[in-house]
């Protein structure tokens, strides 16, 4: 404990108090040459009193003029930096990480699952100063004990790790040596003894905000809700309360996410919903605690996004849109308002951790005007309560872990237009991990259950949804039951793997029963499958010749449905090289045999596709330089010439000064698919129309970051996006699951399909079917999204935002697509522009 005056945090180590303790030294390199002596020496000191932990790190450098002091936003980790990890729980699984760059930028991460998860959304309040001198550079930390979590006892032993990163050499060295192939992280920390006389600190932080916003968009004559201008004033509050040393309560009342960057543009031609990552701060911070991955396959796979909790369900856009015949105009419909959210997290000294989230979204109503000029309110989303709870228990100092999770979604449905929604949805899961042989090997298991109930209409809709398609005529084990008012489903996963050494692997299996339903507050792409996968990797742990590192991976996949039909079989191989000059090169290929889709005909019979293969390659120059370029190219092809595709992308980065960074990422792809689903039409029985689509997509992501000081930044992000699709060679599915490719469909001849340029429609005129008219399915999607944000953290934890958000999108149907016309329309003056100012102030009580 500090005797006398504590050190003044100014970036200089001239305070007498620092002389009370010795330097911690003898760092060991971990990257690139594991176990070697570092190229530059580092040392540190620790002090504490009843309120703060003080850290001094001296990064010695024989060439101080080469220290890189790039600026970035908080958690940017640019340039030279140092870091301290503190396991104050002393549970050997979790830690609090604080980092400091040579330019004075702060970074923090909450480390969990023994180093497998690093949560950079954790933003504690602490203090930092850095300085540069002839011997290198210095970082001086002052960390309030209220930002850490520890037990109330007389003496403490904390796990500690200190790291230094030298940017110009891409070198990491550590005080406590931990081999790169070690099976874990936190449990191998060094130990800090002799801490006594401290007590857990109460934490109370309140952060209100005020938001002013104006939106300018295209005016629509006669529409009272599209006047071109919309102004609003809003406010809310966030709070963080340390109920005990082990329990933290996060509250958010009327949260705002106006400064959050928009999702990237995509065109979805599949039957399934797309997954977008969470971007909202309240749900991001601590999201590892409320996470329940259903698969966690190292081999990858579309099922890796499945989770019992998908926070983007909360506050989503309303699912109902008023379409009564008498409605002429509908007011603006934004996202469902989150009235309030509370998150309770904690971990005790016995290794028991928990997290609980409770959130309520409002009943959303929108004003409509009918054809006679009358106005009324129409509900578009019912009030809904979401609750999620997660528990985990460490066993045998973290060598085993058992946990569970439950979720619930409860809707207060008072209007008949919401009968398609579930009244209630519940899920529950248990998971277990056992480590062996000093954590080098592991086996992990999980199982889960889901239950949904509601009206017969809602449950029928669930049975017919793209997740399961019970109405498939070849579905032998499940059919649509219109009398059902509930569904119950299950799933499970088992993984066995090896973490350390030059050769690592994982093999596993995961299942989803046909009835499983998670998408009220979770994410499930598809039900009714059993998937098996294996991943084997070879890696070098030290430089070999010109190579700094090398990785070679092989993956194998098999998927079946619950009928026992083999849906997919595939192999993947990939390799990744990083050279001593920090250039990168990698390549890989995928190959699959015939595969079957139960979903692509949107409730029709399963369709069989010929096998396909794909090759890809990427490379990049040294990204430590002021100017760097990387790029990739891929090309794929299918048997029977049913598919062909290729694409490329380039990432250009330029950093002329430590404060300014510009990046441009253009991207192009072309897909030619002769078996693209178009539509379903009714005859004596349903008929399924396929076509050849030739889709061309152009996009670019542009970023400009100007970091004036560690607390003041100007950032711009923009993404133009164009995708056009042309259909031809229309055909009807005959026996889509047939072994012979030619037997699966009937190609429509010129006398069976006619195009009307006047109406922009096709007429299907087969003699054995009723005539059918089809709108031209060609499409042109054009979007331009951008964010311009000025962010000033004028005091720690308190921020002023100035934001300009622009969003332009157009969708055209045309006989022919012309790229020149698309680009002309893309930059037309039809964008919606939002200007907002948001002021927050954090009170620490």
Q: What is the pLDDT of residues 793-839, one digit of tens each?
A: 998 889 999 999 998 877 665 544 455 555 555 555 567 899 999 99
What three-state secondary structure class fits 825?
A: helix
Tell me the β-bridge partners of 665.
Answer: 701
Q: What is the mean pLDDT of the chain?
A: 92
For the chain, the 3-state helix, strand and coil shares in percent, each to the nearest 5, are 5, 55, 40
The domain locations on the chain are: 16-196
* 527 has a pLDDT exceeding 90: yes
Beta bridge mates, 405: 390, 429
Residue 40 near residue 62 (C-beta atoms within 8 A): yes
pLDDT in tens, 212-221: 999 998 888 8
Q: How far apart are CA 60 and CA 42, in angstroms?
A: 6
Cα–Cα distance for residue pair 116/127, rounded to 1 Å: 27
Whose tokens are 């889960």? That residue is 448
Structure tokens at 378: 């129409």
* Confidence band, pLDDT 50/70/90 cuts, at residue 308: very high
Give which of 441, 472, 725 is closest to 606, Cα–Cα: 472
Q: What is the 3-state secondary structure (H, E, C) of 319-331?
A: CCCCCCCCEEEEC
Phi, psi of 525 (to 5 degrees): -75, -45
- Tell me the two tokens of residue 817: 């697509």
Using pLDDT thresholds of 50, 70 and 90, give the confidence band for residue 613.
Answer: very high
CA-to-CA distance for 712 and 799, rounded, in angstroms?
10
For the cut 90, the answer to whether the pLDDT of residue 40 exceeds it is yes
pLDDT of residue 618: 98
Residue 333, CA distances (Å) to 123, 337, 366, 734 in order? 32, 11, 7, 42
Task: Please list the residues that pair with 386 across neighbouring strands.
Answer: 359, 409
Q: How far apart are CA 265 and CA 695, in angstroms?
A: 15
The pLDDT of residue 25 is above 80: yes
- For residue 96, the cross-strand partners are 86, 110
Residue 187 has pLDDT above 60, yes or no: yes
pLDDT bucket at 156, cuts 50 / 70 / 90: very high
pLDDT of 254 reads 85
The per-residue pLDDT for range 221-267, each reduced to its tens digit, is 889 998 889 898 989 998 988 887 778 898 988 887 766 677 777 88
**Own/partner long-range contacts of 64-67 (Cβ < 8 Å, ≥24 apart):** 64/132, 64/133, 64/134, 64/135, 64/136, 64/137, 66/168, 67/102, 67/132, 67/136, 67/137
CB-based burial of residue 373 (10 Å sphere; 0-12 exposed, 13-18 middle, 19+ buried)? exposed
Sheet containing strand 327-330, strands side by side: 327-330, 364-370, 375-381
Condensed to tens digits (0 to 9), the pLDDT of residues 88-140 reads: 988 888 899 999 999 999 999 999 888 988 988 888 889 999 999 999 999 99
In eight-state DSSP terms, residue 622 is -
Q: Is 744 left (phi over 0), alpha (psi -120 to 50) or beta?
A: alpha
pLDDT in tens, 620-673: 999 999 999 999 999 999 999 999 999 999 999 999 999 999 999 999 999 999
Say which residues have a Cβ less than 8 Å from residue 793's Cβ, sequence separation at least 6.
74, 711, 712, 799
* Residue 363 pLDDT class (50, 70, 90 cuts): very high
Nearest to 129 by CA among 116, 140, 121: 140
CA distances from 65 to 10, 39, 62, 127, 733 (A): 21, 15, 9, 26, 70
Structure tokens at 89: 């729980």
For the segment(s) 16-196, the CATH number from 3.90.245.10, 3.30.1490.190, 2.60.40.1190, 3.40.630.10 is 2.60.40.1190
Q: What mean pLDDT do residues 601-623 have?
A: 96
> What number is the average pLDDT over the span 512-538?
97
> What pLDDT band is residue 282 in, cutting at 50, 70 and 90?
confident
- Each residue's pLDDT tens digit, 724-736: 999 999 999 999 9
| pLDDT reading at 705 higher than 90 | yes
The CA-atom distances, in angstroms, between 512 and each of 460, 520, 553, 658 are 19, 16, 27, 50
Average pLDDT for residues 539-555, to the nearest whole number?
A: 94
pLDDT of residue 820: 56
Cβ atoms within 10 Å of 836's Cβ, excluding its own: 20
pLDDT score, position 815? 47
- pLDDT for 466-501, tens place per residue? 999 999 999 988 999 999 999 999 999 999 999 989
42 touches 58 (CB < 8 A): yes
**Which has more confidence, 149 or 185?**
185
pLDDT, tens digit, for every residue of 14-23?
999 999 999 9
pLDDT at 546: 95
Strand (E) positions, 683-765? 686-709, 712-733, 745-747, 753-756, 761-764
Whole-number percent of the chain with pLDDT over 90: 73
């Amino acid at each position: 404990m500090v005797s006398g005056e504590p050190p003044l945090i100014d970036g200089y180590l001239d305070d007498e108090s620092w002389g009370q303790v010795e330097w911690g030294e003898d760092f060991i390199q971990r990257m690139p040459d594991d176990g070697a002596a570092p190229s530059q020496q580092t040392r540190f000191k620790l002090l504490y009193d009843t309120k703060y932990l003080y850290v001094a790190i001296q990064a010695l450098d024989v060439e101080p003029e080469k220290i890189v002091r790039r600026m970035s936003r908080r958690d940017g980790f640019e340039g030279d930096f140092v870091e301290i990890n503190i396991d104050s729980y002393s549970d050997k699984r979790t830690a609090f990480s604080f980092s400091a760059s040579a330019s004075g930028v702060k970074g923090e991460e909450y480390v969990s699952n023994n180093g497998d998860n690093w949560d950079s959304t954790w933003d504690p309040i602490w203090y930092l100063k850095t300085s540069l001198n002839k011997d290198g550079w210095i970082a001086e930390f002052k960390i309030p004990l209220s930002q850490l979590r520890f037990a109330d006892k007389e003496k403490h032993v904390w796990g500690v790790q200190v790291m230094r990163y030298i940017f110009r050499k891409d070198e990491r060295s550590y005080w406590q040596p931990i081999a790169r192939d070690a099976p874990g992280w936190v449990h191998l920390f060094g130990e800090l003894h002799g801490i006594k006389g401290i007590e857990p600190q109460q934490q109370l932080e309140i952060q209100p905000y005020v938001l002013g916003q104006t939106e300018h968009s295209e005016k629509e004559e006669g529409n009272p809700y599209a006047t071109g201008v919309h102004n609003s004033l809003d406010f809310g509050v966030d709070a963080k309360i340390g109920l005990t040393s082990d329990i933290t309560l996060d509250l958010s009342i009327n949260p705002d996410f106006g400064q959050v960057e928009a999702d990237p543009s995509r065109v979805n031609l599949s039957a399934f919903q797309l997954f977008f990552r969470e971007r909202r701060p309240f749900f991001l911070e601590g999201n590892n605690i409320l996470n329940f991955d259903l698969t966690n396959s190292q081999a990858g796979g579309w099922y890796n996004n499945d989770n019992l909790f998908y926070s983007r369900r909360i506050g989503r856009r309303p699912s109902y849109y008023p379409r009564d015949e008498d409605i002429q105009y509908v007011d603006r419909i934004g996202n469902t308002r989150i009235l309030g959210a509370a998150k309770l997290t904690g971990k005790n000294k016995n290794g028991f951790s928990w997290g609980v989230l409770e959130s309520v979204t409002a009943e959303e109503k929108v004003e409509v005007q009918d054809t006679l000029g009358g106005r009324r309110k129409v509900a578009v989303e019912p009030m809904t309560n979401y609750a999620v709870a997660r528990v985990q228990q460490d066993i045998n100092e973290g060598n085993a872990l058992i946990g569970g999770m439950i979720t619930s979604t409860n809707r207060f449905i008072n209007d008949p237009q919401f009968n398609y929604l579930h009244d209630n949805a519940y899920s529950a899961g248990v998971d277990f991990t056992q480590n062996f042989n000093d954590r080098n090997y592991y086996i992990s298991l999980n199982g889960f259950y889901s239950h949904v109930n509601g009206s017969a209409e809602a449950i029928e809709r669930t049975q017919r949804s793209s997740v399961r398609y019970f109405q498939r005529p070849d579905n032998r084990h499940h059919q649509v039951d219109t009398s059902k008012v509930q569904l119950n489903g299950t799933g499970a996963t088992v993984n066995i793997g090896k973490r350390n050494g030059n050769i690592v692997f994982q093999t596993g299996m995961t299942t989803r029963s046909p009835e499983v339903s998670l998408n009220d507050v979770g994410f499930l792409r598809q039900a009714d499958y059993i998937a098996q996968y294996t991943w084997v990797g070879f890696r070098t742990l030290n430089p070999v010749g010109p190579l700094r590192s090398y990785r070679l991976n092989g993956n194998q996949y098999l998927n079946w449905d619950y009928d026992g039909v083999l849906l997919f079989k595939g192999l993947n191989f990939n390799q990744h090289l990083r050279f001593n000059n920090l250039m990168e090169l990698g390549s890989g290929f995928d190959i699959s045999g015939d595969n079957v889709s139960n979903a692509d005909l949107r409730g029709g019979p399963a369709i069989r596709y010929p096998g396909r293969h794909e090759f890809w390659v990427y490379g990049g120059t040294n990204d430590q330089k002021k100017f760097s370029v990387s790029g990739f190219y891929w090309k794929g092809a299918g048997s029977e010439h049913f598919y062909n595709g290729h694409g490329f992308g380039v990432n250009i980065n330029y950093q002329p000064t430590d404060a300014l960074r510009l990046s441009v990422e253009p991207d192009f792809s072309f897909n030619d698919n002769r078996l693209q689903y178009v539509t379903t039409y009714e005859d004596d029985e349903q008929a399924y129309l396929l076509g050849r689509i030739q889709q061309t997509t152009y996009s670019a992501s542009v970023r400009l970051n100007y970091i004036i000081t560690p607390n003041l930044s100007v950032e711009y992000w923009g993404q133009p996006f164009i995708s056009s699709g042309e259909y031809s060679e229309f055909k009807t599915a005959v026996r889509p699951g047939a072994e012979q490719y030619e037997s699966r469909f009937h190609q429509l001849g010129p006398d069976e399909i006619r195009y009307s340029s006047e109406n922009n429609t096709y007429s299907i005129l087969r003699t054995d079917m009723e005539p059918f008219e089809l709108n031209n399915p060609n499409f042109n999607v054009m979007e331009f999204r951008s964010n311009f944000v000025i962010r000033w953290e004028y005091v720690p934890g308190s921020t002023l935002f100035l934001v300009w958000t622009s969003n332009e999108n157009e969708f055209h149907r045309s006989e022919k697509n012309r790229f020149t016309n698309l680009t002309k329309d893309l930059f037309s003056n039809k964008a919606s522009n939002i200007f907002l100012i948001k002021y927050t102030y954090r009170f620490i009580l």
